[in-house]
Amino acid sequence: MQDLVRQLARLLPIVCLAVVALPAAGGAQELSTVQRAAVADTIRIQADRFIAAIASKQIDRFMELFATEPDLTYVDNGRIYPSRQALATAAGGFFTRIGSAGGAWESPRILPLSTSSGAFTGTFRPRMVDTAGQPLWVDGKIWTFVYQRRAGNWVIVQAHEVNALPPR
């Protein structure tokens, strides 16, 4: 029994160090106020680029906003597009239907996660019509994007889109 107590006593400092050090090593990067603001501003610019890409009606401009790596996932109202190619195919069909597009974010929320990543959620209130002049996305869309800086560029690595409900 005493041997067990001695072994546990020798392990105690290691266990204490692990309890203190591991959460800090694996936790989110602490950001200063300046860093947090800079990341939030960058992510907001990226979200505005998303609207501009839709307004451009150019699928290539839209697709360059997304990661090229195979870990890209896009969810649209219950459909999962598990790859960049699947998203390009689906979005390409939609882009041919756009007559004119514009709009703005309403109540965006931005969460800086590190100096090279963060998340954005906002309701897009569109001013859009299809090629026949019919309004598109009348109630808007809600998007959540996870951004990461890769090879010097901020790209969307995960996205979720859902139809917004009519304003109350």
What would the pLDDT profile of 13-54 be if each residue is shown by its tens digit?
Answer: 333 333 333 344 444 569 999 999 999 999 999 999 999 999
**Does residue 127 lie in a domain region?**
yes
Give the SS3 label for residue 125.
strand
Number of structural domains the chain divides into? 1
Residue type, 8: L
The whole-chain average pLDDT of the chain stands at 85
**Does residue 152 lie in a domain region?**
yes
**Does residue 102 lie in a domain region?**
yes
**Does residue 15 lie in a domain region?**
no
Model's pTM, two decimal places?
0.80
Bridge partners (DSSP) of residue 146 are 119, 158
pLDDT (mean) for 102-108 = 96
* Residue range 106-119, pLDDT digits in tens: 999 999 999 999 99
Percent of the chain past pLDDT 70, that is, above it, reads: 82
pLDDT (mean) for 148-159 = 97
Give the SS3 label for residue 81.
strand
**Does residue 17 lie in a domain region?**
no
pLDDT score recorded for residue 58: 96
**Does residue 132 lie in a domain region?**
yes
Q: Which two three-digit tokens encode residue 130? A: 């299809």
Instruction: Write out the residue range of the structural domain in which residue 98 sits.
Output: 32-163
Q: Which CATH number fits the domain that encloses residue 153? A: 3.10.450.50
**Does residue 6 lie in a domain region?**
no
Least confident of 14-28, 48-62, 68-82, 129-143: 14-28
Contact, 95 vs 22, CB < 8 A? Answer: no
pLDDT score recorded for residue 165: 87
pLDDT (mean) for 128-140 = 96
The dihedral over CA atoms of 23, 25, 29, 33, expressed in degrees to the nearest 10, equals: 80
CA distance to 94, 147, 150, per residue, from 153 (Å): 26, 10, 5
> How many C-beta neighbours within 10 Å does residue 120 have?
22
Contact, 122 vs 111, CB < 8 A? Answer: no
Distance CA 126, CA 135 (A): 9
> How many C-beta neighbours within 10 Å does residue 126 have?
20
**Does residue 52 lie in a domain region?**
yes
